[in-house]
DNA sequence: CGGATATGTTTTGCTCCGCACCAAATATAC
DNA sequence: GTATATTTGGTGCGGAGCAAAACATATCCG
């Protein structure tokens, strides 16, 4: 960021950009359709077969694509050779630090999960230094295991992205403020990079909701929807926004901080000191208060929510009323966001998923009522299917995206 | 929009894309710095002098760039030839239809205003058909005048963009719903294109706030700020959002419809039927009600606001209190938007400009209090300097942008 | 006036795409 | 079973367009 006030002047382009773009085209196409022949890629990508042949040759050389048998016949002509993404050589890792756990998820180049670990850990209690150490150790052993397990050929960890519930300056790799972890101005990327030792894999840091939104965009139920909003449901409420297929990071990476949107200036007091924040209505603590539940401090969100779901299943009228009101508040806030970014879908994650059946009707109604767009229904409101690993998976996907967008970066190790 | 659910696969690239990109690079650079030599462009754009020479040659051929004398000496070496954008041959037109006027503004390729017209017109009274006819006629005579005035060489009108206060499906060129004009599902682009006759200039339609935001991004006081929000202040409140230098249009072009954001579910009733919309607090009609002013129906916003400003200047305590409360409500809503998109600046337009000195202090305070981002100050809140022609100018700029981005499109006439 | 320096043009080489052609592999018609 | 049609994948050639280097041009300075 040399000058924030420079009109967008495109960067110089030359042959290598054409090549990079077309390599990406082949990879994204294979990622989208699973497998295809050279001729098929050429037809769908508006390239000539000759060019695709050359591109595929380079990608095979790089270990990113492999041949996978012949096309079954059935029609005249020489059968094609099926090509698919090669998961053997390049991996990416996503990690997540949250209030009571550190977790990690690795995927191969084809997007398949190859490793998942989770370790209970009280980040607040341990303090930033010990937390980072624990995180770095978890990552380091995982990277060792991953590279040891598959010796056939050099296995490269292409990148590591750490998801944090808080405000992150993505470009700098610094966590500016994560209240739930009590972290402030912590250079997480640099610290983890140190902890990993010599390994030169690029380490990045991201906001958990933004990364979960990336995961939803790439592999969730609404995958491919270019405009979507993901809403985390934990103690804090975070938002991740995809606009035109790109995450909306904002000026300093603080985009989508929707938890402290004001719903009502005279509303209840929020932990942040203000009044009427959305989070004060729909955060997990607000729900716990309204249903008069008092779960143990350290319990994971699933455990805190389960008793409420049980009461709702049993038909307890007070609980159902609380959940309906919760849904209504969700819908009101979702409508505000929808009026700003006009997404196709809004995805509820976190604890909302387990209570969806009692929340969604009222939420959908309030959303439709509050949306100005004359689309028959306005944005669809759905629940995430990615579970609590969404953010870590999004981190891994994000790291892998860098390779997909510029495959020859692997040549620089 | 073939398939809204296709993962973003880049389009094929070839040499022509390299060329297009680098032609754009030269034009944007000249637009940003005013004038420069070939060598200067090469140095700043990371191209070789040879390449810049060829690019400039083609742009001169196209009539988009011209030589403008020698560099003044002062240092050793051959002085360069200064190059600048050539405004003689290519023009673009922006028009605006609003409640009580139709206006038009034309710029040349260098961005200079060459024509401005405004005609009082009651669009609601006249109905859609007559309004479009009036608009088309205004545009047609303006285009005739523009092309007649400069006979030296063929003068091309590169495009025409019409700004509408309402929901616009940009891709389709259709106004979906403009309540203040009582337009619904009106194919404005097609109708204006017909009204223009043979002229093949591309006609587009856009939302007035989005286009004003484009104008702010390109030539306003915050020009070049890649993340900004523009807020119109009229009877209706609209929003235009620029994210990463691109307008946020949303799924169907309905992005930034912030006027009906809910500030308070129990708030005053809004014209849209809901309660507590932002517009119901900060729209022009709400202000008129609170200051107990009853201006004539047809008066332009400036005239409606002037008595209020007069009273404020005179120190009337009731008026000042109303304006302070107005500022506070502006700040609350602006903070909500800021938490979603994290812009560098939020720009107030329309009637807010004339009342800025009494509104801004409270608005800034409420904005800072409601913003979660730990930037020392959060987004800057400023007023527009573009006046009531902002939307039309944004339309013209938008049309010209298409040429800047792909100059050889002119060869297809 | 001659060197130093900077600009702009010309020449050469390289990359990478499209086009045309060819070999390979299979289905189908006879 | 053989010939033909059809489709895939690869190779050679030409063209577009950028980089690098050499060259011509214009000015300043000693």
Q: Is A314 on the interface with B (CB under 8 A)?
A: no
With a 7 Å cutoff on the CB, does B206 touch strand C? no
Q: Between A38-45 and A49-61, two packed helices, what is the crossing angle to 10 degrees? A: 120
Q: Is A4 on the interface with B (CB under 8 A)?
A: yes
Taking C1' of C19 and every protein CA, the nearest residue is A48
Residues of A within 8 A of B223 (CB-CB) are 5, 7
Residues of A within 8 A of B14 (CB-CB) are 18
Say yes or no for a CB contact (<8 Å) between A4 and B223. Answer: no
Cα–Cα distances in angstroms (integers) from residue A292 to residues A289, A295, A311, B311, in the given order: 5, 10, 12, 53
Q: Other CB atoms closer than 10 Å to residue A300's CB: what's the count? A: 16
β partners of residue A207: A164
A 52-81, residues with C-beta < 7 Å of strand D: 53-54, 56-57, 75-81
Q: Quickly state the pLDDT bin for A198 (edges 50, 70, 90).
A: low
Chain D positions with any atom < 7 A from a protein CB: 5-12, 15-22, 24-29
**Two structure tokens written together for A211:** 């990364």
Q: Quickly state the pLDDT bin for A372 (edges 50, 70, 90).
A: confident
**Mean pLDDT of all residues belonging to chain A:** 90
With a 7 Å cutoff on the CB, does B77 touch strand D? yes
Using CB atoms, which residue from A225, A250, A374 is nearest to B176? A374
**Two structure tokens written together for B303:** 């005239």
pLDDT higher than threshold 90 for residue A390:
yes
| Residue spans of beta strands (DSSP E) within A109-219 | 113-120, 156-164, 167-169, 174-178, 183-186, 203-207
Residues of A within 8 A of B336 (CB-CB) are 261-262, 336
Q: Determine the pLDDT at residue B347.
A: 97
Angle at A54 between CA A50 and CA A56, to 5 degrees: 115
Torsion of CA B22, B27, B32, B38, to 10 degrees: 80
Nearest nucleotide, CA A46 to C1': C18
Say yes or no for a CB contact (<8 Å) between B340 and A255. Answer: yes
Q: How many Cβ pairs within 8 Å bridge chains A and B?
A: 232
Say yes or no for a CB contact (<8 Å) between B262 and A263. Answer: yes
Nearest Cα residue in chain A from B242:
A250
Nearest Cα residue in chain A from B332:
A262
- CA at A87, C1' at D7: how many angstroms apart? 29
Question: Cβ contacts of residue A260 below 8 Å, gap of 6+?
Answer: A270, A272, A274, A277, A278, A279, B339, B370, B372
B187 HSE (CA, 13 A, CB side): 6
| DSSP code, position B198 | T
- The rounded distance, in Å, linking the Cα atoms of A349 and A372 is 24
Q: Quickly state the pLDDT bin for A116 (edges 50, 70, 90).
A: very high
DSSP output for A187-240: -HHHHHHHHTTT----EEEEEHHHHHHHHHHHHSTTTT-SSEEEE--SSS--EE
Please list the ranges in chain B whose pLDDT falls under 70: 1-6, 73, 149-154, 198-200, 297-298, 373-377, 413
B208 HSE (CA, 13 A, CB side): 29
Query: For A322-334, what is the mean pLDDT?
Result: 96
Say yes or no for a CB contact (<8 Å) between B372 and A339. Answer: no
Residues of A within 8 A of B266 (CB-CB) are 264
With a 7 Å cutoff on the CB, does B149 touch strand D? no
Using CB atoms, which residue from B21, B251, B335 is nearest to A13? B21
Cα–Cα distances in angstroms (integers) from residue B412 to residues A382, B200, B253, B403, in the given order: 46, 10, 28, 12
Q: Determine the pLDDT at residue B4.
A: 45
Report B:353-372 residues touching A (Cβ under 8 A): 369-370, 372
Residues of B within 8 A of A335 (CB-CB) are 262
A412: closest CA of chain B, how far (Å): 22
Q: Based on the number of CB atoms within 10 Å of its own CB, is B251 exposed (0-12), middle (13-18) or buried (19 or more)?
A: buried
Report the percent of chain A where pLDDT is more than 90: 67
- The rounded distance, in Å, linking the Cα atoms of A41 and A26 is 7
**Two structure tokens written together for B356:** 């800025």
How does pLDDT run across A162-187, given as a tens digit for each residue? 999 988 988 899 999 888 888 999 99
Residues of A within 8 A of B341 (CB-CB) are 248, 250, 255, 340-341
DSSP output for A351-411: GGGGGHHHHHHHHHHHHHHH----SSS-SEEEE-SSGGGHHHHHHHHHHHHHHHH-GGGGG
Q: Is A246 on the interface with B (CB under 8 A)?
A: yes
| DSSP code, position B72 | P
Q: Determine the pLDDT at residue A4.
A: 45
Q: Determine the pLDDT at residue B257.
A: 85
* Count of helix runs (H) and strand runs (E) in chain A: 12, 16
Say yes or no for a CB contact (<8 Å) between B18 and A21. Answer: no
A147: closest CA of chain B, how far (Å): 30
Q: Determine the pLDDT at residue A274.
A: 85
Nearest nucleotide, CA A19 to C1': C16
**Two structure tokens written together for B11:** 């389009």
Residues of B within 8 A of A262 (CB-CB) are 263, 332, 335-336, 370
Q: Quickly state the pLDDT bin for A151 (edges 50, 70, 90).
A: low
Query: For A10-30, what is the mean pLDDT?
Result: 97
Query: For A1-14, what is the mean pLDDT?
Result: 72
Taking C1' of D29 and every protein CA, the nearest residue is B76
| DSSP code, position B354 | G
Q: What is the pTM of this model?
A: 0.92
- The rounded distance, in Å, linking the Cα atoms of A37 and A71 is 8
Q: Determine the pLDDT at residue B3.
A: 40
Report B:384-403 residues touching A (Cβ under 8 A): none
β-strands A174-178, A167-169: how paired?
Answer: antiparallel
Say yes or no for a CB contact (<8 Å) between B8 and A245. Answer: yes
Nearest nucleotide, CA A18 to C1': C16
**Two structure tokens written together for A325:** 């009101």
β partners of residue A348: A231, A383
B 13-42, residues with C-beta < 7 Å of strand C: 13-15, 37-40
Query: For A33-52, what is the mean pLDDT?
Result: 95
Q: Based on the number of CB atoms within 10 Å of its own CB, is A377 exposed (0-12), middle (13-18) or buried (19 or more)?
A: exposed
Taking C1' of C6 and every protein CA, the nearest residue is B77
Phi, psi of A184 (to 5 degrees): -145, 130
Q: Determine the pLDDT at residue B2.
A: 36
Using CB atoms, which residue from A10, A176, A244 is nearest to B374? A176
Nearest Cα residue in chain B from A331:
B262
b/e code B43-81 from CB counts within 10 Å (16+ = b): eebebeeebbeebbebbeebbbbbeeeebeeeeeeeeee
Query: For A226-245, what is the mean pLDDT?
Result: 94
- The rounded distance, in Å, linking the Cα atoms of A289 and B39 is 68
A150: closest CA of chain B, how far (Å): 30
Q: Is A16 on the interface with B (CB under 8 A)?
A: no
Q: Is B314 on the interface with A (CB under 8 A)?
A: no
Say yes or no for a CB contact (<8 Å) between A372 and B45. Answer: no
Taking C1' of D21 and every protein CA, the nearest residue is B50
- The rounded distance, in Å, linking the Cα atoms of A343 and A341 is 6
With a 7 Å cutoff on the CB, does B51 touch strand C? no
């Amino acid at each position: 960021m040399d000058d924030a006030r420079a009109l967008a002047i495109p960067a110089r382009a030359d042959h290598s950009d054409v090549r990079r773009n077309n390599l990406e085209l082949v990879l994204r196409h294979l990622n989208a359709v699973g497998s295809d022949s050279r001729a098929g890629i050429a037809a769908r990508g508006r390239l000539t077969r000759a060019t695709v042949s050359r591109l595929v040759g380079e990608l095979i050389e790089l270990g990113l694509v492999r041949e996978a048998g012949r096309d079954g016949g059935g029609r005249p002509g020489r059968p094609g050779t099926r090509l698919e993404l090669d998961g053997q050589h390049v991996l990416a890792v996503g990690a997540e630090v949250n209030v009571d756990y550190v977790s990690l998820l690795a995927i191969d180049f084809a997007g398949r999960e190859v490793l998942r670990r989770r370790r209970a850990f009280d980040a607040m209690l341990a303090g930033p230094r010990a937390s980072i150490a624990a995180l770095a150790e978890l990552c380091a052993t995982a990277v060792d295991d991953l590279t040891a397990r598959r010796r056939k050929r050099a296995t490269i960890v292409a990148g590591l992205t750490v998801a944090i519930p808080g405000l992150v300056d993505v470009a700098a790799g610094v966590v500016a403020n994560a209240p739930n972890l009590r972290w402030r101005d912590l250079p997480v990327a640099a610290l983890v990079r140190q902890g990993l030792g010599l390994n030169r894999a690029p380490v990045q840091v991201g906001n958990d909701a933004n990364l979960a939104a990336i995961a939803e965009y790439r592999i969730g139920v609404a995958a491919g929807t270019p405009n979507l909003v993901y809403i985390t449901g934990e103690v804090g409420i975070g938002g991740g926004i995809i606009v035109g297929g790109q995450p909306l990071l904002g000026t300093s990476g603080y985009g989508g901080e929707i938890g402290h949107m004001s719903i009502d200036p005279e509303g209840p007091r929020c932990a942040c000191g203000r009044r009427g924040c959305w989070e004060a209505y729909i955060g997990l603590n607000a729900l716990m208060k309204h249903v008069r539940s008092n779960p143990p401090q350290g319990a994971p969100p699933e455990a805190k929510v389960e008793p409420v779901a049980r009461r709702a299943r049993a038909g307890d009228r007070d609980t159902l009323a609380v959940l309906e009101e919760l849904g209504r508040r969700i819908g009101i806030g979702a409508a505000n966001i929808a009026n700003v970014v006009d997404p196709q879908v809004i995805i509820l994650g976190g604890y909302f998923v387990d209570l969806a059946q009692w929340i969604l009707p009222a939420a959908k109604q309030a959303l439709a009522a509050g949306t100005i767009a004359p689309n028959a229904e306005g944005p669809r409101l759905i629940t995430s299917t990615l579970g609590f690993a969404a953010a870590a998976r999004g981190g891994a996907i994000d790291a892998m995206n860098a390779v997909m967008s510029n495959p020859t970066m692997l040549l620089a190790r």
